[in-house]
Amino acid sequence: KLVSKKWKAKPTSVDLGDGVFIKDGEMAIITGPCSIETEEQIRKVVAHCIENGIKMMRGGVFKPRSSPYAFRGLGLEGLKLWYEIASAAGIKIVTEVMQTSQIEEMYPYVDVYQVGARNSQNFNLLDELGKVDKAVMIKRGISGTIEELLQSAEYVFSGGNEKLILCERGIRTYERASRNTLDLNAIPILKAKSHLPVIVDPSHGIGIRSYVPQMALAGVMSGADGIMYESHEIPEKAYSDGQQTLDFAQSARLAAWIRESFAMR
């Protein structure tokens, strides 16, 4: 496989421009709300990122919701607004693309196309993202194996797009005490098998706000190249995933802990 370390020993470095990288040997921090909600919210999160030296912001404008009646995102208009504010502040945008028709319209406004867990094996989408010259982050499928994640990455890489990032976001197991089971085993295994950078998402991984920091730090110590977690000024008022979202004080503390832990690794 092209994403295998046997084919390419040197770790892949994903360059987002302006000195922002997702790569082995660095610790990427990506934070922001589950959903992009309002202009005011975007401004507050961008300010929070700047205050804490965080250069990548996450947020969904196209949301894959389990219920069709839940908030499904601001769409392209929301992305344009977000881009205007974030790019002026030098913040990179990580956001989910749900279908092939969105790739082109999103292109000017996105730095990392996120492929969500539910689309992890949407092979048409992966094929099309293989033709794009912007970074792609593939999340592990809800019941996806490590091997399946690597095969999904192979679709994009073999299509010609080598700006690829893998993301462990928890898998569905028999355990119901947490939203998902964050598979920390996957990090050393992915790092050993593949040259691609690996990000851990402890927010979806455990799904419980007060346990997100320790799982984030466990992700750092397990060898991740970055942590992506959800944050919001008032998590209780978030349009989605508030139960697993940190407020800004918690997020600031976690970002510092992530950096300290990485320095000790």
Residues that bind ligand PEP (CB under 6 A): 34, 60, 64, 116-118, 139, 169, 204
Interface positions, 16-35, toward Mn ion (CB under 5 A) = 34
Give the CA angle between residues 78, 234, 79 to the nearest 5°.
10
DSSP-derived secondary structure letter, 132: -
Q: Is 121 exposed, middle or buried (0-12, 13-18, 19+ CB in 10 A)?
A: middle
Q: In the complex, which residue's CB is closest to ligand PEP?
A: 116
Which partner from the list ligand PEP, Mn ion, none does 223 bind, CB cut-off 5 to 8 Å by kind?
A: none
CB contact at 8 A, 189 and 169: no
Which partner from the list ligand PEP, Mn ion, none does 193 bind, CB cut-off 5 to 8 Å by kind?
A: none
Nearer to Mn ion, 158 or 178 (CB): 178
* Residue 249 burial (CB count, 10 A): 10
Cβ 201 to ligand PEP shortest distance, Å: 6
In the set 241, 248, 258, 262, which binds Mn ion (CB under 5 A)? 241
Cα–Cα distances in angstroms (integers) from residue 214 to residues 95, 182, 202, 205, 220, in the given order: 25, 12, 9, 12, 10
Regarding 3 and contact with Mn ion (CB under 5 A), the answer is no
Nearer to ligand PEP, 60 or 130 (CB): 60
Cβ 255 to ligand PEP shortest distance, Å: 18
Cβ 240 to Mn ion shortest distance, Å: 6
CA pseudo-torsion sign 265, 197, 21, 95: negative
Which partner from the list ligand PEP, Mn ion, none does 117 bind, CB cut-off 5 to 8 Å by kind?
A: ligand PEP
Q: In whole angstroms, what separates CA 262 from the centre of its chain?
A: 18
* Residue 209 burial (CB count, 10 A): 20
Nearer to ligand PEP, 3 or 36 (CB): 36
Q: Catalog residues that contact Mn ion under the rule CB under 5 A.
A: 34, 241
